[in-house]
Homo-oligomer: A and B are copies of this chain.
Amino acid sequence: MSLKYAVLAALLEGEASGYELSKVFDVSLANFWPATPQQLYRELERLAGDGLIEARTVPQERRPTKRLFSLTEAGREQLRAFAAEPTRRPTAIRDEFLIKMQAMDGVDPDRVRELVEERRSWALGKLARYERVRERLLDGRGEEEHLRDSGRVGPYLTLLAGITFERENARWCERVLTVLRERRAPAGPAGQPLG
């Protein structure tokens, strides 16, 4: 249901092919509505059928021909109407890793540490990518300046949300690693670690 509007919102950045969108939905941006390429191609077909986007075929020299989609006025209008409606469904987080953490007390602490460290470096990697997108959006200006004067602030603000999410994710991992250490070697008065 919302994939429709996620695609329309993505096309606010300008025309894009299904392939290009699948990159955006996969890696870049604070991705708050994941979608596989197959989903996107299907949705683009539907939206074009409903006249909310229009396709333009672009033959290329050394690559397969691509179809670039852009918003029609009708699409823009529907997106605007959607964005002004009250939010129906609450945020849904699906996180396999947190299920593992919920059950971590039955697992070898060394193994848990490994999993948490993996998660941490993954979060830091994503954070670094977000920061690069941020630099590009700010384009040399300061944040306050940009937020006061720029034409569009939506993309920057959602990016900030993604940045905060991954930063706190990494911090949480560090907290867990500390807890694991403390539980392994409880601090005695002399602070002597046990074998």
Contacts and interface: CB of A to CB of B under 8 A. Distances in A.
Interface of A: 2, 5-6, 8-9, 12, 30-34, 76, 79-80, 82-108, 111, 115, 118-119, 122, 144, 147-148, 151-155, 157-158, 160-161, 164-165, 168-169, 171-172, 175-176, 179, 182-183, 186
A187 to B, nearest CB: 8
B84 A108 contact: yes
Count identical subunits in the complex.
Answer: 2
B93 A107 contact: no
A76 B160 CA distance: 40
A147 B100 contact: no
A157 B176 contact: yes
Given A102-B12, A115-B86, A161 B154 contact: no
